[in-house]
Copies of this chain bind each other. A is one copy, B any other.
Amino acid sequence: MSLTEHPPASLESRVLAIEDELAIRNLVARFADACNERDAAAFRTLWTADGVWEIGAPNQALVKGLEAIADLFDRLVVPWPMFMQLAHSGVIEFQGPDEAVARFAMRERGMGDNRYYENLAVYHDEFVRTPDGWRFKRRRYEYRYLDTSAFGGSLFPLTTGQ
């Protein structure tokens, strides 16, 4: 449900509702970008200290807390010579002033070291407002499609900097 269809009374609160929505969309974008750039430091900043990151079947994993999340990122994402996470549109539902849930339509593709990875999935998200802004409290990756058979094409190494 879009907040903007039931605008709160004051202009101040309407602006805050917009900022909240954009901050959450930016958080999802920064997650994808941290994956695509293999940026572990940026990835850590997206979570609450006790955040939960869950990957569903058939690649089940469930870790809690920043250190475990960072470890999983180092194992799952960083090693790929080519890895792209593509975040599409998502629906956000606010559940009070400081909490929200969402679903985002996802695709990931990885290639390298004789491994191939192509999927379609939905990220089930829980967000919380912290003193430093909105953060992931929980993300659960639900595969809808997965193909690990070989495909063609060439990969190109990351360049550094803007």
Contact = CB atoms under 8 A, between A and B. Distances in A.
How many copies of this chain sit in the oligomeric assembly?
A: 3
B14 A19 contact: yes
Interface centre among A4, A58, A118, A126, by most chain B C-beta atoms within 10 angstroms, is: A4
A146 B151 CA distance: 11
Contacts of A156: 56-58, 142-146
A155 B23 CA distance: 32
Given A23-B4, A33-B91, A156-B144, A105 B132 contact: no
A162 B101 contact: yes
**Which bracket fits the contact residues of A?**
35 or more
Interface in A60-90: 82, 84-90
Contact of A144 (B84, B87, B91): B84
A114 interface: no
Contacts of A124: 162
